[in-house]
Amino acid sequence: MVQQPQQKPSRPFGEVKTAAVKAALDGNWSEAVDLNHQAVEIAPRDVGSFNRLATALIELGRFSEAKEAAETALGLSPDNKIARKHVDRLSQLAGEVASAPVASGSRAAVRFITDSAKATVSELVNPADARVLATVAPGQELHMQDNGVRMELLTKAGERIGALEVHIAHRLRKLCDKGNQYEFSVAKLSETGIAVLVAETHCAPGMTSVISFPPSLQKSASDIDLEDEPMEEGDEGLDVSEVDDEDDITPQAERSERLKSIMSGRLGGAYNIEDEGLNI
């Protein structure tokens, strides 16, 4: 049975549940684990709390504990689809990466929290099958391989995980050509899909006025739902020419004023910003 705190919870179940959900949405997985432990202590037959506990433990790479929580949820509700998905996925991990370390405090994660213009989250196109996805964990570093057509992400062992969305890859190629550098890590997982954190690690000289990811490309893990069918090539619904770098190379002060003008209604409709400074 999953170990739970010994102290008696003082808050009502509804309040603890709400706080646990908020912690998960904010990506505060350690806090989510603590709150869901409190929730199952108050309501030991609440399937949702055990499922949320399993999810938070998975995000932290604590797979053995997550499996216990998921099995408890499934025992309480044998037809519960979320519990069944958790148990099936965690069973695939047995003997492979059950104790794999997770870089929950990675440099990329810290950068993403402090400066969203230097990082974004992207759902991978044509992801690997469930067996391969089960061998990676949130926070794990991935390696990029650009074959000129696609930017593929691989594990350290060289297994393909998936490809970056075309508009993200298109922008990264141009910025990397100018000398910028980026790192990639797992942000979110499901049985059939994966989203990665793409973070700037080095800004080349002369590129300090360039933001890696303009507002149209800024996403967090909570913006991506992996419960649908996995993204396949062409699903992005975007042609490279359609996303040719809104706000590509505009000094920060000027860009901020333009955005303020749009938000206040002083500028009507979309404005056209070309590839300023990239000389593509």
- The closest alpha carbon to 216, from 148, 163, 180, 165, belongs to 165
- Token output for 8: 């008696």
Number of domains in the chain: 2
CATH number (domain holding residue 66): 1.25.40.10
What are the tens digits of pLDDT across the range 90-129?
776 654 443 444 444 444 444 444 456 788 889 999 999 9
Task: State which amino acid sits at residue 216.
Answer: S
Task: Please check whether residue 247 is in contact with residue 256, taking contact to mean a CB–CB distance below 8 angstroms.
Answer: no
Would 3 be classed as within a structural domain? no
Q: How far is CA 155 from the centre of its chain?
A: 16
What are the tens digits of pLDDT across the range 175-222?
999 999 999 988 888 878 999 989 898 999 988 888 999 988 888 877
Task: Decide which of 217 and 2 is more confident.
Answer: 217
What are the tens digits of pLDDT across the range 4-54?
554 555 789 999 999 998 888 777 888 999 999 999 999 999 999 999 999
Would 266 be classed as within a structural domain? no
| Residue ending a domain, choose from 69, 93, 117 | 93
Q: So what's the pLDDT on residue 116?
A: 65
- The closest alpha carbon to 199, from 275, 126, 110, belongs to 110
The answer to whether the Cα torsion of 118, 123, 126, 132 is positive or negative is positive
Would 259 be classed as within a structural domain? no
Domain with 63 in it: 13-93
